């Protein structure tokens, strides 16, 4: 990435503009996290509810003290092990943190991304950048600069192109603001990896857990109705839609292709990391092809697939008549 591109992006951020940039997970829609007026532009561009908190991206762990009241030992341990990387920590916010970042909550989400373009931007900016995924709220997250431009267009002042994202799904989110560390969103970093560092089990979110990105029941969704179907039921489901004259796009990782009228077959990688890397690009491609329904073969059980399974469940709809 040329230095003049980074310098231009920093100048835009300092004057309250929006810059989309790549991370190792997905592309983020960035604004100066200390500028409430700039942060509001993120909500407007995405159509995001005001009470839905944002993640603040930091140049390195030394910037934590600027954003939180205290840094627990667990945060130090996880930061040392996984930052820079795809881990977001939820901590009690400092008094100066704008409400616009937190949805009015007493907590703030923070991470240090590993992508070289994100790192260069943050180091040059030398402060926090608020950056949710650079797409319309609730829709498929972007993993290329082209995705960002197609969805947000001129609402973004600049898009830094860093190629395709290596991981392809959003960061793991761990809440450290309560009495027990809690997994709020699965991601590339697994629960067992986090538990190994902490030396204690992670809790599941409860009714009093802080709101965090990706916790809504519907998220990451294409506009085309999507169903997750078990491998055993896939052939029957495909033929049922075909018999109804509906065009069905199938995303399968294991099942052999099924021939038939009105059926389009797409193969996904059979290993979890590859599947995750291509997931949003695949869903976006199928969505733009204007099929009547997207059928996704159910991924296998096991922790390696937890993050992918989470995204597919939230992207799916249940409509008997579609």
pLDDT for the residue numbered 2 = 74
- Residue-level pLDDT at 318: 53
Phi, psi of 296 (to 5 degrees): -115, 125
Residue with tokens 């965090």: 212
CB 92 within 8 A of CB 106: yes
Q: What is the pLDDT along the chain (322 residues), one digit of tens a residue?
A: 678 999 999 999 999 999 999 999 999 999 999 999 999 999 999 999 999 999 999 999 999 999 999 999 999 999 999 999 999 999 999 999 999 999 999 999 999 999 999 999 999 999 999 999 999 999 999 999 999 999 999 999 999 999 999 999 999 999 999 999 999 999 999 999 999 999 999 999 999 899 999 888 788 889 999 999 999 999 999 989 988 999 999 999 999 898 877 899 999 999 999 999 999 999 999 999 889 999 999 999 999 999 999 999 999 975 444 4
Residue 98 token pair: 């704008």
Report the candidate in 170, 167, 176 with the shortest Cα–Cα distance to residue 89: 176
Q: Do residues 99 and 34 lie in contact, with contact meaning Cβ atoms separated by under 8 Å?
A: no
Around Cβ 2, how many Cβ atoms within 10 Å? Answer: 7
Those residues with Cβ within 8 angstroms of residue 133's Cβ, 6 or more apart along the chain or in another chain: 26, 27, 28, 29, 141, 142, 170, 213
Rounded to whole angstroms, the Cα distance separating 27 from 22 reads: 4
- Sign of the alpha-carbon torsion through 113, 117, 120, 121: negative
Tokens of 263: 């059926």
Reported as half-sphere exposure (CB side, CA atoms, 13 A), residue 3 has a value of 1
Q: Which domains does the chain have, with CATH numbers?
A: 3-198 (3.90.870.10), 226-315 (3.40.50.300)
Short-list 260, 236, 238, 235, CA closest to 248? 238
pLDDT at 220: 87
pLDDT for residue 59: 98
| Region class of 104: left (phi > 0), else alpha (psi between -120 and 50), else beta | left
What CA–CA distances, in Å, run from 294 to 59, 85, 286?
39, 32, 7
Which tokens go with 111? 């991470």
Q: What are phi and psi of 131, to 5 degrees?
A: -155, 95
The pLDDT, as a whole number, for residue 321 is 43
């Amino acid at each position: 990435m040329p230095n003049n591109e980074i310098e231009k992006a920093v100048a835009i951020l300092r004057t309250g503009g929006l810059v989309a940039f790549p991370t190792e997970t997905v592309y983020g829609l960035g604004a100066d996290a200390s500028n409430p007026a700039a942060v509001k532009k993120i909500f407007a561009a995405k159509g995001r509810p005001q009470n839905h908190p944002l993640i603040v991206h930091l140049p390195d762990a030394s910037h934590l003290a600027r954003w939180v009241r205290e840094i627990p030992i667990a945060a130090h341990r996880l930061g040392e092990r996984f930052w820079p990387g795809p881990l977001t920590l939820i901590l009690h916010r400092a008094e100066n943190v704008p409400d616009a970042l937190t949805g009015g909550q007493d907590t703030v989400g923070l991470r240090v991304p590993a992508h070289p373009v994100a790192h260069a931007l943050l180091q040059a900016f030398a402060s926090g950048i608020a950056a949710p995924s650079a797409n319309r709220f609730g829709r498929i997250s972007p993993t290329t600069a082209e995705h960002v431009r197609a969805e947000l267009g001129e609402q973004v002042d600049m898009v830094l192109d860093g190629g395709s994202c290596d991981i392809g799904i959003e960061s793991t989110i761990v809440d450290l603001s309560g009495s027990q560390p809690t997994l709020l969103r699965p991601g590339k970093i697994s629960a067992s990896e986090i538990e190994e560092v902490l030396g204690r089990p992670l809790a599941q979110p409860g009714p009093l857990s802080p709101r965090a990105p990706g916790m809504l029941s519907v998220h990451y969704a294409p506009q085309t109705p999507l169903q997750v179907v078990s491998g055993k039921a896939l052939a029957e489901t495909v033929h049922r839609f075909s018999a109804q004259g509906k065009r069905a796009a199938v995303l399968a990782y294991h099942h052999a292709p099924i021939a038939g009228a009105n059926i389009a077959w797409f193969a996904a990688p059979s290993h979890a990391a590859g599947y995750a890397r291509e997931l949003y690009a695949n869903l976006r491609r199928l969505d733009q092809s204007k099929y009547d329904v997207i059928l996704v073969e159910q991924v296998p059980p096991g922790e390696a697939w937890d993050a992918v399974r989470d995204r597919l469940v939230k992207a799916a709809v249940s409509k008997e008549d579609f």
